[in-house]
A and B are shown apart, each in its own frame.
Chain A
Amino acid sequence: MSTIPADLRYATSHEWARLEADGTVTVGISDHAQEALGDVVFIELPEVGKTLAAGQEAGVVESVKAASDIYTPVGGEVIAINQDLADSPESVNSDPYASWFFKLKPSDVSELDKLLDATAYQATAGDDA
């Protein structure tokens, strides 16, 4: 049974997004996603300064099993990436909600509303679990 915090929003492609107090958005992958991927061994993150549209490819997670693309749940400019993941990609498995991938300055904060809330995500993740 995977964990789905109620204070986050989720994309159907299994990324989570959190609106921070300063108006930025933090992005990572869900517990369900890390569980499905298996041990994560390498993460390719987007470049800081790059502007991405919602749903655009933002990086790749390589696990022992497969490579899978990650997509940004909302559009905006990448303002930070989590360098710690380069040295300890396994933290995505042990703590997926603390192991953020990148932070965005959103171009349109209302895009967050189009994402799933925890209940709706639970239903989706349950479907293909």
Chain B
Amino acid sequence: MGQRTPLYDLHLALGAKMVDFGGWDMPLHYGSQVEEHHQVRRDCGVFDVSHMCVIDVSGSQAKAYLQHLLANDVERLHFPGKALYSAMLNEQGGVIDDLIVYLTDAAEGQRGYRLVVNAATRDKDLAWMRQQSGAFAVELNERSELAMLAIQGPHARAKTCELVTQARAALIHELQPFQGLAEGDWFIARTGYTGEDGLEIMLPADQAVAFFNDLVGAGTSPIGLGARDTLRLEAGMNLYGQDMDESVTPLAANMAWSVAWAPAGRQFVGRKVLEELNSTGVQSRLVGLVLEERGVLRAHQVVRVGGVGEGEITSGSFSPTLGKSIALARVPTATGERAEVEIRGKWYPVRVVKPMFVRHGKALI
């Protein structure tokens, strides 16, 4: 038996098919994964993402610590509420995890940050973070008492506002994309993993069941991890452990944009290796693939690029929005606009595109 979120019984009551995900018993779908996918693109849905790990970082050197720990620079968080996406690297420049960090308190000398990291990497992340904290006056506080719900889709904010206190509704109206702030014992962020507008709300576990129930009662569909995966794939968002891991640098994982090079003196973990790679040239990159024929691209299928070399699909599925199969693949840097993928012994032509297929309900390819 895996770990359970506070919503486990509710998922069963809603007819969820449960699967193991990184040691957690999570809902795969509540009937049809494809229907749930469309529901989020067209209206809104609610996901239980309580398996994700929330870590608060505080102390007089919290900022310096995170500037050492993360490839992106928390100096960019100019005021409380701002968030940024970052990789956490090892000394070889490999990705230990990807995460979101929010600035929660900007008072000089007592800055506070909140990090949200992946569920399956929780233990190694915490071990690494503690190890790296050695010389810094910093405190790490895992907030396992919090549940987390993601409400995603074009109507997500409007529908959520109808069910929460006035103060929380006001905050939801004010939040800009990629911002998050506390209101009472809730932390409300305008972030997500679907390519749609929406919210991620961290709240005490004992309030999560009632709130999830309220949302479902008001017509917001519960959405499982199956649709979460096709939604993030269409949005071109990486899945840790699949599209990148400790053997891959952010430069080969379409995450170069999240590496803050300036100031040159900021010696974040992994910087040296990334700089060397930048001068010698990165050998591979993460691209999008589109299969125009019938069939489904899957992780680990081989990609052949004529005259250039070979690569591999890291994530592949059927895109419900586009009605065809799409994938993320790591291919040689020199790859052009066409490639071929081997599906059950046969080679199929695919189009090579920027790894972002759908945003805000619209096809980009």
Question: Complex formed: what's the CA distance from A41 to B35 in Å?
Answer: 12
Question: Complex formed: what's the CA distance from A42 to B28 in Å?
Answer: 20
Q: Judging by beta carbons under 8 Å apart, are B296 and A93 in contact?
A: no
Query: Is there a chain A Cβ closer than 8 Å to B33's Cβ?
Result: yes
Q: Judging by beta carbons under 8 Å apart, are A64 and B298 in contact?
A: no
Q: Judging by beta carbons under 8 Å apart, are A62 and B296 in contact?
A: yes
Render B206-241 as a binary contact track against A, CB cut-off 8 A, 1 for contact.
000000000000000000001000100000000000
Contacts of B29 in A (CB 8 A): 38
A67-B226 contact given A38-B29, A60-B344, A62-B318, CB 8 Å threshold? no
Residues of chain B from 334 to 356 with CB closer than 8 A to chain A in the complex: 344
B242 to chain A minimum Cβ distance, whole angstroms, is 15
* Contact for B296 among A38, A67, A90, CB less than 8 A: A67
Q: Judging by beta carbons under 8 Å apart, are A67 and B317 in contact?
A: no
Residues of chain B from 12 to 66 with CB closer than 8 A to chain A in the complex: 28-29, 32-34
Query: Is there a chain B Cβ closer than 8 Å to A39's Cβ?
Result: yes
Q: Judging by beta carbons under 8 Å apart, are B296 and A39 in contact?
A: no
Chain A residue total in the interface (Cβ 8 A):
14
Measured CB to CB, the nearest residue on chain B to A35 is B17
Query: Is there a chain A Cβ closer than 8 Å to B78's Cβ?
Result: no
The dominant DSSP class at the A interface is mixed
Question: Complex formed: what's the CA distance from A62 to B318 in Å?
Answer: 9
Query: Is there a chain B Cβ closer than 8 Å to A65's Cβ?
Result: yes
Question: Complex formed: what's the CA distance from A39 to B318 in Å?
Answer: 10
Query: Is there a chain A Cβ closer than 8 Å to B309's Cβ?
Result: no
Question: Complex formed: what's the CA distance from A58 to B306 in Å?
Answer: 32
A64-B344 contact given A41-B296, A42-B296, A90-B34, CB 8 Å threshold? no
A58 to chain B minimum Cβ distance, whole angstroms, is 14
Contacts of B294 in A (CB 8 A): 42, 44, 86
Contacts of A60 in B (CB 8 A): 344
Measured CB to CB, the nearest residue on chain A to B319 is A41
Residues of chain A from 27 to 76 with CB closer than 8 A to chain B in the complex: 38-39, 41-42, 44, 60, 62, 64-67
Measured CB to CB, the nearest residue on chain A to B229 is A64
Question: Complex formed: what's the CA distance from A31 to B229 in Å?
Answer: 25
Which of B28, B33, B34, B317 has the most chain A CB atoms inside 10 A of its CB? B34
Q: Judging by beta carbons under 8 Å apart, are B295 and A64 in contact?
A: no
Question: Complex formed: what's the CA distance from A67 to B318 in Å?
Answer: 11
Residues of chain B from 301 to 320 with CB closer than 8 A to chain A in the complex: 317-318, 320
Q: Judging by beta carbons under 8 Å apart, are B33 and A62 in contact?
A: no
Q: Judging by beta carbons under 8 Å apart, are B295 and A42 in contact?
A: yes
* Contact for B318 among A42, A44, A86, CB less than 8 A: A42
Q: Judging by beta carbons under 8 Å apart, are A62 and B295 in contact?
A: yes
Question: Complex formed: what's the CA distance from A65 to B320 in Å?
Answer: 13
* Contact for A38 among B33, B298, B320, CB less than 8 A: B33
A39-B295 contact given A64-B317, A64-B318, A67-B344, CB 8 Å threshold? no
Question: Complex formed: what's the CA distance from A42 to B343 in Å?
Answer: 13
Question: Complex formed: what's the CA distance from A71 to B115 in Å?
Answer: 49
Contacts of B298 in A (CB 8 A): 66-67
A–B pairs, 20, beta carbons within 8 Å: A38-B28, A38-B33, A39-B34, A41-B34, A41-B296, A41-B318, A42-B318, A44-B294, A44-B295, A62-B296, A62-B318, A64-B33, A64-B34, A64-B226, A64-B320, A65-B226, A67-B298, A67-B344, A90-B34, A93-B32
**Residues in chain A within 8 A of chain B (CB atoms):** 38-39, 41-42, 44, 60, 62, 64-67, 86, 90, 93
Give the 5 A-B CB pairs with smallest separation, nearest first: A41-B318, A62-B296, A39-B34, A64-B33, A39-B33
New contact pairs (14) apart from A44-B295, A93-B32, CB-CB < 8 Å = A38-B33, A39-B33, A39-B34, A41-B34, A42-B294, A44-B294, A62-B296, A62-B318, A64-B226, A64-B230, A64-B317, A64-B318, A64-B320, A86-B294
